Structure 1
């Protein structure tokens, strides 16, 4: 399958009063045409910083791409200036942000806000852009789009505002759509509707999606592949089935064990002990070692490489080294593996 986006050895730092925060420390991944890649991890793991760097939306005053490439259509986005990025941002790569109310201008009717990128990037007249905006409102499931076109954001519910934000993001049929926790501010029922809408729209406009979330339940419904981030690095990546039913990294085990399920109704939910590392002074070895009950001496001294589990599945843990002791995953992970043994055997 054709790769539409490649991120190679990306390092990003923030310069603060306390010193240099090494927020992203060698991130590698690619995005294939028409697929959905979910990036998961705790707050502070580097998910949003990684994707905002693709859009070049990080503050220039204190952020710096120290190393690496962000390749899109043969261009390295990391080397483009703001004027060059303006031709790509909104047209070829769009973003849906977490809170729709802060993404929309409260003083403008929503129709004009949808028209803006169409007029700028599609060379349409205002009348054509208006027709396209109404069509997009209809596409994202907003009833009476001609009437809604003339209304302000405060006249929409939270779910409807998020649909408007999606309409703006899709206005120019982008090749890549970045969704930064787009359902976090919504209740569960509306969340399900928005996720279903995004899956349906992806098929219609053939776009590739990077979906950022901390909710593994959301991942299971939308993703083709999953990248797990921790301490500014991707520590495991694979297909959604491989990550859910045959995870290899202890951090991924912890995330899955902390998910509530129908089988664990009488059990106390697992919580990963400790806190994420301080990236002002990143640890010498594996960033997860201090919280990892399976950590070995080498975890404290040396960062693990990405070990190959299958052609599509890689994990950065010393437990996959041939000389490492055999460790059984937690009960919640083993339960999933017993339900779907063919995924483990397929590896």
Structure 2
């Protein structure tokens, strides 16, 4: 079966006064219809730049896609002009951004913001588009949609604004929905509602979702597969079960160890020491080595390849080499792995 989306060896850089920032360095992944892929990692790991490239939104001339392919049903989006990408954005690939207020036009009624996309991409007349907009608002759980259509963004709460943004993103029945930290600005209760909403909508529409987050805990009940990014590269890639039950990369251990759970206290939380590297001058060897207490001598010299753990699971760490010493995750990580197993993924 052909893949809906295939990203192959994608590299994105930004030219600054200080030099070239290598934001994304050889990222590859794929996506099937109806699947959710979560891309996780700290700020600056390259998650959002990767999805900006998928949307054709890498700012030019500073931003440059240096190499790679982004194949949407076999067509390379990297080769598309901005005018061609305008037809693809919204129709084939839509995006839900982190801050809904900045995504909405404050001078325009909510209904008109949904209708606009339907008229442009679906060739609907305004009467049909208005009817569809009301259906979309109802679908994302906004009460009294006929009345709310006539209101402005400032008249909605943060959670309701995010629902509106999701309605706009879904208006043209996109094949892929990119959600870039869509719940970060929301409180925990609303966050859970938005995540549940996205899961329900995916079942109805069969759209694929690329979910961007820095929080592994958020993806446990959302994703099918997880790509862990660090310093512009994917360092571990696998199913949710692979990542939560059998993590192999020390960076993934750190992310899991820093994830609070209902039965953990503050002392048990693990903090990854140091900070991500300067991508103006990426370190030689394994970029995570300076922060990794499990680092081997080779980590400072040579970058590790992607080792195959199973047919679905890969990790780029020298700890998986046959000659490497056997290392176990820290106790704090093991507790979270066990807690995840005990709750069936409901952490």
TM range (shorter): over 0.9
Q: 1:28-67, aligned counterparts within 5 Å? A: 28-67=28-67
Whole-angstrom distance in 1 between the partners of 2:323 and 2:264: 34
Q: Secondary structure, in 3 states, of the residue corresponding to 1:310?
A: coil
- TM-score under structure 2 length normalisation: 0.96
Superposed CA RMSD in Å reads 1.4
Aligned to 2:100: 100
**Matched residue, 1:199:** 199
The DSSP-based 3-state class of the residue aligned with 1:323 is: coil
Q: Contact 2:270 / 2:332 at 8 angstroms: preserved in 1?
A: no
What's the counterpart of residue 279 of structure 1?
A: 279
User: Where does residue 131 of structure 1 map in the other structure?
Assistant: 131
Q: How does 1:1-347 map to 2 (within 5 A)?
A: 2-265=2-265, 267-337=267-337
Q: What CA distance in whole angstroms lies between the structure 1 residues aligned with 2:6 and 2:84?
A: 19
Q: Is the 8 A contact 2:254 2:270 kept in 1?
A: yes
**Aligned partners of 2:254 and 2:340: how far apart in 1?**
19
> 1: CA distance between counterparts of 2:150 and 2:77?
36
SS of 2:107's equivalent?
Answer: coil
Distance 1:132 1:336 in 2: 44
Q: CA deviation at 1:304?
A: 0.5
Structure 1 pair 37/116, CA: closer, same or farther in 2 (3 Å)? same
SS of 1:264's partner is: coil
In structure 1, what is the equivalent of residue 345 of structure 2?
A: none
Offset of 1:221 from its aligned partner?
1.8
- After TM superposition, the structure 1 stretch with the greater mean CA deviation from structure 2, 62-71 or 261-270, is 261-270
Name the CA distance, whole Å, in 2 between partners of 1:60 and 1:269: 41
What count of residue pairs does the alignment treat as equivalent?
A: 342
> Taking structure 1 as reference, are residues 144 and 278 closer, same or farther at Cα in structure 2, changes over 3 Å only?
same
Q: What's the CA shift for 1:288?
A: 0.1
Provide the TM-score with structure 1 as the length reference: 0.96
Where in structure 1 are there 5+ consecutive unaligned residues?
343-347
Q: Which runs of 4+ in 1 moved over 4 A?
A: 336-342
Structure-2 change in CA distance of 1:139 and 1:180 (3 Å): same
In 2, distance between residues paired with 1:277 and 1:44? 9
In structure 2, runs of 5+ residues without a counterpart are 343-347
d(CA) in 2 for partners of 1:221, 1:68: 31
